[in-house]
A and B are shown apart, each in its own frame.
Chain A
């Protein structure tokens, strides 16, 4: 009987560890190593982090067409890529929403937006919605800055003023890249901002 209780307790423990490891939305913490992905770009090509062997880091941004917050950051995301891709930190944007719930975020609409806004970075669709839960992205826009070894170094917002780029006096992502360049850990390593929840199949 004692043996049975022990075994049952072990079973419960194992189950709880398994459950906690698979809870969606848990995602990456600072210091975790991100897994690579292979997602379709608006030009039809598949894109992975491994396509950038010389990268010193990766600016992975979950964003979309429809969210007003994401729209306000479109030009700033383009600016980030134009400034930092040549320095070894490319922007890789991922659209995590289910287009069946938000038709404005369909692949075709993503292609149109990338064209009309002149995106200089890959704009990938998270078909099957498997990548954003791994990262723990909860909203758009949501930035994950990785170093060359794909270690997560910064999670959060692009800067501290969504509605007006000129009024943003803390440029979180740019400051985080500068910290990495100086061999330091970004401070703050995480920030919060209002955003649109990711639209998931129910």
Chain B
């Protein structure tokens, strides 16, 4: 009996260990909405680094608990829709907490059927990585980084229209 309990514990332990993966976890849904979880900012940096020089990247930091973030998301979505033929990628980086991914983040992206690339950044060492996004960023969200090749434009201003987004794109 004790052996059985011991083995069961071992099995539980081993399965829980395999869940803690340092690599991004890719999750697929029945309705094919995908997202990845980055355990460290370096993983996000690596992804941004892979972009070609012609690609325009719109990287938006948000969370389901952030009302102004949720308000501006439709503008990013419709911006993406109208620019689908161009080399433009919209990356939505959620800062929702790990314990809220299943309970809040997943229902949100399903309800809104988001078409942007979806990521969750789970790196608690904010004092380290906020400056790597932009030295002028205090850490408030929403915040958006526009990138093309070596060019980077950062803003912590909320987008009030698709035109607001276009305005930054034109500066690149």
Binding site for B on A (CB under 8 A): 68, 138-139, 156-157, 160-164, 167, 170, 188, 191-197
Q: Which chain A residues lie closer than 8 Å to B68 at the CB level?
A: 197
Q: Which chain A residues lie closer than 8 Å to B164 at the CB level?
A: none
CB interface residues, B 84-122, toward A, < 8 Å: 95, 97-99
Query: Do A161 and B137 touch (CB < 8 A)?
Result: no
Query: Do B95 and A193 touch (CB < 8 A)?
Result: no
**Separation of A161 and B124 alpha carbons in the complex (Å):** 6
- Partner pick for B97 among A163, A188, A192, CB 8 A cutoff: A163
Query: Do A192 and B139 touch (CB < 8 A)?
Result: yes
9 contacting pairs across A/B (C-beta < 8 A): A138-B139, A156-B127, A160-B125, A163-B97, A164-B124, A188-B127, A192-B131, A194-B126, A195-B140
Q: Which chain B residues lie closer than 8 Å to A68 at the CB level?
A: 63, 65, 97
In the complex, whether B130 has a CB less than 8 A from a CB of chain A is yes
Extra A-B contacts (6), CB below 8 Å, given A138-B138, A192-B138: A156-B127, A160-B125, A163-B99, A164-B124, A192-B139, A193-B139
Most buried by A among B65, B124, B130: B124
In the complex, whether B8 has a CB less than 8 A from a CB of chain A is no
In the complex, whether B25 has a CB less than 8 A from a CB of chain A is no
Q: Which chain A residues lie closer than 8 Å to B130 at the CB level?
A: 192-194
Query: Do A157 and B126 touch (CB < 8 A)?
Result: yes
- Partner pick for A160 among B65, B127, B139, CB 8 A cutoff: B127
Query: Do A194 and B127 touch (CB < 8 A)?
Result: no
Task: Write the chain B residue with the least CB distance to A67.
Answer: B65
A68 CB, min distance to chain B CBs, angstroms:
5
Q: How many chain B residues touch A (Cβ–Cβ < 8 Å)?
A: 20
Q: Which chain B residues lie closer than 8 Å to A162 at the CB level?
A: 124, 126
Q: Which chain B residues lie closer than 8 Å to A191 at the CB level?
A: 127
Q: Which chain A residues lie closer than 8 Å to B63 at the CB level?
A: 68
Q: Which chain B residues lie closer than 8 Å to A194 at the CB level?
A: 95, 126, 130, 139-141
In the complex, whether B153 has a CB less than 8 A from a CB of chain A is no
Q: Which chain A residues lie closer than 8 Å to B125 at the CB level?
A: 160-161
Task: Write the chain A residue with the least CB distance to B137.
Answer: A192
In the complex, whether B66 has a CB less than 8 A from a CB of chain A is yes
1/0 per residue, CB under 8 A from A, across B123-145: the answer is 01111001100000111110000
B111 CB, min distance to chain A CBs, angstroms:
19
B6 CB, min distance to chain A CBs, angstroms:
28
**Separation of A95 and B75 alpha carbons in the complex (Å):** 30
**Separation of A138 and B68 alpha carbons in the complex (Å):** 15
Task: Write the chain A residue with the least CB distance to B99.
Answer: A163
Q: Which chain B residues lie closer than 8 Å to A188 at the CB level?
A: 127
Most buried by B among A68, A167, A197: A197
Question: With A68-B65, A196-B66, A197-B68 known to touch, is A138 a contact of B127 (CB < 8 Å)?
Answer: no
Task: Write the chain A residue with the least CB distance to B125.
Answer: A160
Query: Do B140 and A192 touch (CB < 8 A)?
Result: no
Query: Do A163 and B139 touch (CB < 8 A)?
Result: no
